[in-house]
Structure 1
């Protein structure tokens, strides 16, 4: 059974009560690190139960530590010795023997005992947990107390009967940290409803593929990769889905690695990289002067909007054969990179600002090339304030590498949402409506229109949604006679009230010279008003 909403709220409240002066954007690095270590420890202990017969991990370690270590590493890619398990931390706390040095030693030993391909997937994953930072406390005793609070909180989360609990909690907390981190949230979070729309658009009709490759060139915390995979029938089958992603910000890159593994993705199926997507092509790309790029069944992206980038000397870059995006706005650079890595029968979805639909100059030329080559399949307008890091309205653009048709489906979903505290939220029915409209590909009055290439050319390749979907609501015609009658009735009532008020004033008598003078002034004002 997953955590209830009440349990999630309790955990979030407890986190805020115990984090002290640590900012949420930094605190998440510690709490997610503790959560992930708990996940790895419990996975290791579960593996021991399945493979060690009646012996405990401590007994195996005592008999032959080298052999036991090698045994676990070859299966899991890592090893956690008995004294370093999360359960050992819990025992030390209950016996009042725990200190922050014990924790840092455990993490250090974990990093030194990685195996084979797992070295790349786990290396440095706990580096954001600076256990010597004064933000945790001014001395070792205070830092120990802070970490004990985190360990105790994670100890309340039972995962024995449901391995998805930690993964689901991780996603919930990512969303909560995003909502409380302002502009920084855009570095790592895409709202689940938006991810769900993109995932369904990408996987529709392809759910039964035996093998499926996914790529996100600006992956943030990896939620787009996970949500897309969840709609595949092979989700959870080892080796069936391969996850590729790249992220520039190291802290966010670590979040993604943790997120995927805590959702049951084996390290063998994860191919993530901490690097700059635009400045260095990946995966594979150019090696020793030969371009051998890897192509994917689906590419999804929610890149930073209108990012400044170094666009010098890009003309020879094969990714940008349709043109080089301006230095002040990398939107089309991310789009073209994604399209380049798409298989011939693949599909991609990317979140972008509305400006890509109508801006001219270099962007206008790129847009024309994309349309002339039939790559753009759909443009979907989303509500404003749907992302935690920006209030601007955005779009989802769906593209394909090899389309026969040249029409473009326009969907205006900007008015379908539910208001939340500081943002707008797509409801399940809004998500379903978008997906169904995309699949049906038919006109819906004031919501969707399939535009022909002739229409697009007539609009000079401008894809601004209002040019194709008219959402204007005509006002009810004014009944002039009724309006005149209402005005007459109001005037009559006003005269009657003024007359009654005047009569009441006439009956008033002042008790002294000053009050009598005041009453006369009021009567004079009333007569002037009439």
Structure 2
């Protein structure tokens, strides 16, 4: 087993141990369990990273047999000077806030209060860097009082938590890359990022979809050329799409912006940014309603525009409470194709994704690119807002292509999806891919889902980026071609119907024609006989 695999195993065990503690104190499957698990995990991660960075800055501490004793020998001024040299992405932690300090104090009276105050103090001391903002400007800090979620034996609960944090250190894995932390993050939140929470449920975008979106937006041949760009997701969820995009560009070459109505999602996205070395973007995470109150604006009050946008917006959501407000004059340009009408009985069937899609198009820079997950029905709808959006993309030449994905690529929804790629610089041909026949069906809990192999993912990415036409898989068409097909973006409607021709001699042709004639004569003869029988039977029928 490699060192990386070993630490991945230890990290997952830590997560399982924390869940076990919660279960033992009555919090298993409790709505607050995910807050405890994610915040304690983050405390452990930030504590170990702080120690790691301090050891890198001062080799005396790094080489000491007891780093904490060596660190405690520093005067307060020396300690503060050392903290000032830390990277901006490293949380500042006081001497009495270490995990080792808590471990040593666990038998003191009212230990739950000591534990809670430690986390709250760290959150306060680092609020400028690590806080998520609400649309109204309020700060959502890193940590809160966690023992309040336990009805009794609060001290014992906090002791059990701290004892799980001392088994190993993250120090050896801070140099790991995106794939390691993506796996850890998915494992950490797998029980909490589901659709069981009602209408603002988060959906975990499959890695295959995220990978295809990122690598088609940023082809490897162009990856090194991308510098100092902005990346935005108006319905970010836990950040899977943004993390994949940032990884393709380079975490140090981009700045992340996001907005999501769910506080839970915003917290998970913050955790994702911390794990993936994108702390510099945390202050751009906004908890709020993107469609009603978009937060990111320029100094003149107009909406900010971005270099790259990725999104897997909600497909169905009741926004009837504020839909009339979206029809105001100030929103006319943003929602150029209109606002969906409100059904009388099924308000949640409103196509909210059409609002996000219009918002995304409006929020792209002049040379911007976007990738958006849409219901496959969008690409062929014959009228309405869907058609108006497609017409704009084609008539103004800002479409890169479409990839129609296999059914059940999302295990928790039966809706077939496609990925719409927008590119304001693409004035020539468009790539349409039908990948609906790819993948293998597997069981995912009670649901079925389709899984793409790495080879199939690469096939889609390569075909798209190279603009290849492949029989019964992809076509390369002009904007004029699309307009002539009623703006359909379905690859299947452009596939050629092929008729196979076989060369035969004149004698073979005459022989075949003679066989056809004889066969027809036989059939006609049998038909005549049958006709006589039927007439005879009918003539023998009497009323009585």
Residue deviations 1:362-388, cap 9 Å, x none? 332222222211222211111222224
Give the TM-score, by structure 2 length.
Answer: 0.74
Unmatched tracts of structure 1, length 5 or more: 475-530
Q: For 2:160 and 2:195, how far apart are their aligned partners in 1? A: 22
Partner of residue 336, structure 2? 322
Partner of residue 271, structure 1? 284
Residue 101, structure 1, aligned to residue 113, structure 2: yes
Residue 340, structure 1, aligned to residue 362, structure 2: yes
**53-62 or 183-192, which moves further after superposition?**
53-62
Q: For 1:178 and 1:420, how far apart are their aligned partners in 2? A: 22
CA gap of 1:63–1:153, structure 2 versus 1, over 3 A, is closer
Residue 201, structure 1, aligned to residue 216, structure 2: yes
Residue deviations 1:109-155, cap 9 Å, x none? 1232236555557953445764312xx4x30x2x4444444444454
Residue 247, structure 1, aligned to residue 280, structure 2: no
Partner of residue 440, structure 1? 466
Query: Helix, strand or coil: the match of 2:171?
Result: coil
Deviation at 1:73, TM superposition (A): 6.3
CA gap of 1:34–1:179, structure 2 versus 1, over 3 A, is closer
Q: For 2:497 and 2:42, how far apart are their aligned partners in 1? A: 47
Deviation at 1:8, TM superposition (A): 6.7
Partner of residue 189, structure 1? 204
Map 1:43-442 → 2, pairs under 5 A:
43-52=49-58, 54=60, 65=76, 68=79, 72=83, 75=86, 76=88, 78-93=91-106, 99-114=111-126, 116=128, 123-126=139-142, 130-133=146-149, 136=150, 138-139=151-152, 141=153, 143-163=154-174, 167-168=181-182, 170-174=184-188, 176-177=190-191, 182=196, 187=202, 189-204=204-219, 205-208=221-224, 209-232=226-249, 235-237=250-252, 240-267=253-280, 271-285=284-298, 290-309=300-319, 310-312=322-324, 313-317=327-331, 320=334, 322-326=336-340, 328-359=350-381, 360-405=383-428, 407-422=429-444, 423-442=449-468
Q: For 2:475 and 2:145, how far apart are their aligned partners in 1? A: 50
Residue deviations 1:273-309, cap 9 Å, x none? 1111111223224x5xx34443322111111113333
Deviation at 1:206, TM superposition (A): 3.0
Query: Helix, strand or coil: the match of 1:348?
Result: strand
Q: For 2:412 and 2:40, how far apart are their aligned partners in 1? A: 26
Unmatched tracts of structure 2, length 5 or more: 62-66, 342-349, 501-544
CA gap of 1:189–1:70, structure 2 versus 1, over 3 A, is farther
Q: For 1:96 and 1:420, how far apart are their aligned partners in 2? A: 52
**Matched residue pairs, number?**
459
Deviation at 1:2, TM superposition (A): 2.5
Q: For 2:119 and 2:9, how far apart are their aligned partners in 1? A: 32
Q: For 2:222 and 2:296, how far apart are their aligned partners in 1? A: 23
Q: 1:2 aligns with which of 1, 4, 11?
A: 4
Contact 1:261 1:267 in 2 (8 A): no
Query: Helix, strand or coil: the match of 1:79?
Result: coil
Contact 1:319 1:336 in 2 (8 A): no
CA gap of 1:103–1:384, structure 2 versus 1, over 3 A, is farther
**295-304 or 383-392, which moves further after superposition?**
383-392
Give the TM-score, by structure 1 length.
Answer: 0.76
Deviation at 1:182, TM superposition (A): 4.8
Q: For 2:227 and 2:269, how far apart are their aligned partners in 1? A: 25
